[in-house]
Amino acid sequence: MRWAELLGLGLFWAWSLSGAEVLISATDADGVERVMNPKGMVTVLIYSNPVLQNRTREASKAVDEFKGRRDFRSIVVVDLRGTMADWAAGYTVRRMVRDLDQEALRVAPYYRKNGNPADPRKELSAIADFKGELCVKLGWTQPKDELRVMVFNREGKRGKVWEDLVEPAQLTAAVQALY
């Protein structure tokens, strides 16, 4: 394990154990700085990588009923460590943006159902983590082909965590319990 991973893991665990509310942020595919654990919002972070794309979509759909709520956000963190994506970073990010454009069309009905007339596209977020820096801050020190999911409550504190979410309905129930 490299020193940066050890430091990230140590900071994550110290933060987790202390109950401190360290804000973690990163720039998404649209160039928008996103806070992973903002106060006032329930936030779902879904770990993904090229192998997990279909499972990531299923996990994202599990929280569709909350999309459009002004106090809910879902962010996909795409772990690209050790992949060829580094060689085509621009293409990778453009593809993520196109996928988000399509996702916005799919989730628009949930926005309307939740009384939100806003354009969903502005709120959808995916982060390309080419070097693993964000993943390490989140405690995901090594790439895995397992669907990791983390839920933060409205106080910005880490709640339910899965190292490999098998049943998306568990995620739906965990988010529902926060409302």
Element containing residue 111 per DSSP (H, E): helix 89-113
Distance between start and end Cα atoms, the chain: 39
Identify the CATH class of 3-176: alpha beta
Q: Is the pTM of this model over 0.85?
A: yes
Closest CA to 138 of 169, 167, 162: 162
What does DSSP say about strands 33-35 and 25-27: parallel, antiparallel, or unpaired? antiparallel
pLDDT at residue 22, as a whole number: 87
Cα–Cα distance measured from residue 23 to residue 43, given in angstroms and rounded to the nearest whole number: 12
What does DSSP say about strands 42-48 and 72-79: parallel, antiparallel, or unpaired? parallel
pLDDT in tens, 54-101: 999 999 999 999 999 999 999 999 999 989 888 999 999 999 999 999
For the chain, what is the largest distance between any 2 Cα atoms, rounded to a whole number of angstroms?
47
Tell whether the model's pLDDT for residue 166 goes beyond 80: yes
pLDDT in tens, 103-155: 999 999 999 999 999 999 999 999 999 999 999 999 999 999 999 999 999 99
C-beta separation of 5 from 136 below 8 A: yes
Residue 19 pLDDT grade (very low, low, confident, very high; cuts 50, 70, 90): low
